[in-house]
Amino acid sequence: MSWINEKGPLSDVVLSSRVRLARNLADTPFPTVMNGVDRDSVVNRVRRSVLGQDFSIQDYYQFLTIHDLSPADRQILVEKHLASPDLMEQAQGAAILVNQREICSIMVNEEDHIRLQCIFPGYQLNEAFVYINKVDDAIEDQLPYAFDEDLGYLTCCPTNIGTGMRASVMMHLPALTATGQMKLILQTLAKVGITVRGLYGEGSEAIGDIFQISNQITLGASEEEIISNLDVVAKQIVERERQSRYALMKNDRLQFEDNIWRAFGTMTHAKLMRLDEFMNLLSKVRLGVEMGIIPNIDIQGINELMIMGQPAHLKKFGLQNSDQKNLDAVRARVAAQKLGHNQ
């Protein structure tokens, strides 16, 4: 179970809520200047703290060293939003711990010594914050964090100093995109310290009308203030998206439904489907499910299909030939099967 196949609040617009904490050890240089011995030492210390008997969180964590993972397995962790692309590029002295439900992961020696993240389905920012705080406290009970009384938690990147916290909400915003409102929203959010990124965070595109809304600054505000500010913004965006959806449907219901069913028809009958096409069509199908137009499919099923259609997940199907055309063919077949049409 994970955020992918569990239903959460406001799931008609919000896919998931995530809280991430950046932490460093007080007695060790930042990862950017560490040697191999120091990197391995940090990995072992974090592993022992989480997997040891003194860890106060009663949960099972799987420990994975990045060096031992295949390229496909690394990418699968990224596609599930359990790990960052930057962590997967580390050749030595990097690891990740993932809990059994796949809602919490602990990245070791990415940009900081420790990157904790908790990701919950739907709109559950406060729940994710409470959970990750418990994990953070359990680690801090055993390992000394780099902390300054005036600045707060010390991090490799100055923009993370302070709380070291990034809170984000992944949202499906097809109506705001279609009506051209996203540009103004992006400009407004930037003025209040909120940043907007694509599906896989910093540097990624907002394909499939999916956006990540998160706080920009961590210094000078408490964790509670960051959560509260993002809460206000996220709920306003949810309301505007809902209003825009109903306005589009009211304005021309026949055209609105035709766009959705054309996307559904393509996804259930196409023989080849590129990733960008897949994500854009799935956005329309997701909208149809969210608006009650397409029956017998739930949001969890759409989330699962979104992840299953990513490149590394497709390669899990035992492809002997993973060239682009073959991947596109398998993606089309998976989409048709998941949406209830056998090719």
Residue 318: predicted pLDDT: 56
- Specify the pTM: 0.91
Identify the pLDDT of residue 38: 94
The pLDDT averaged over each successive group of 10 residues in the chain (343 residues) is 83 96 94 92 95 79 94 93 92 92 95 96 96 94 93 89 93 95 88 80 73 84 91 95 97 97 97 96 97 93 94 76 79 93 50
Return the domain boundaries, the chain. 14-242, 253-338
Q: How far apart are CA 120 and CA 102, in angstroms?
A: 9
* Rg of the chain (C-alpha set): 21
Per-residue confidence (pLDDT) for residue 130, from 0 to 100: 95
CATH superfamily name and code, 14-242: Glutamine synthetase/guanido kinase, catalytic domain (3.30.590.10)
- Distances in whole angstroms, Cα of residue 230 to Cα of each of 27, 60, 135, 145, 241: 33, 31, 22, 26, 16
Predicted local confidence at residue 319, as pLDDT: 60
Cβ atoms of 332 and 273 closer than 8 Å? yes
CA dist 101 and 81 (Å) reads: 13
Inter-helix orientation angle 324-338/275-290, to 10°:
10
pLDDT at 316: 77
The H or E element containing residue 19 is: strand 14-23
| pLDDT value of position 180 | 92
Sign of CA dihedral 253, 255, 257, 260: negative
Please tell me the distance from the alpha carbon of residue 297 to that of residue 295, in angstroms, as a whole number: 6
Residue 220: how many other CB atoms lie within 10 Å: 10
Q: How far apart are CA 293 and CA 28, in angstroms?
A: 56
Helix (H) / strand (E) containing 302: helix 299-308
Q: Kindly compute the dihedral angle of the four CA atoms of residues 20, 25, 28, 31, in this order, to the nearest 10 degrees.
A: -10
- The rounded distance, in Å, linking the Cα atoms of 289 and 245 is 13
Per DSSP, what are the bridge partners of residue 107? 96, 115
- Cα separation, 216 vs 190, in Å, equals 9
Spatial neighbors of 235 by CB under 8 A, at least 6 apart, are 123
Task: Give pLDDT, residue 122.
Answer: 96
DSSP secondary structure, 177-230, as one string: HHTT-HHHHHHHHHHTTEEEEBTTBTT---GGGEEEEEE---TTS-HHHHHHHH
To the nearest 10°, report the CA torsion of 248, 251, 256, 258.
Answer: -170
169-191 CB burial, b ≥16 within 10 A, e <16:
bbbbbbbbbbeebbeebeeebee
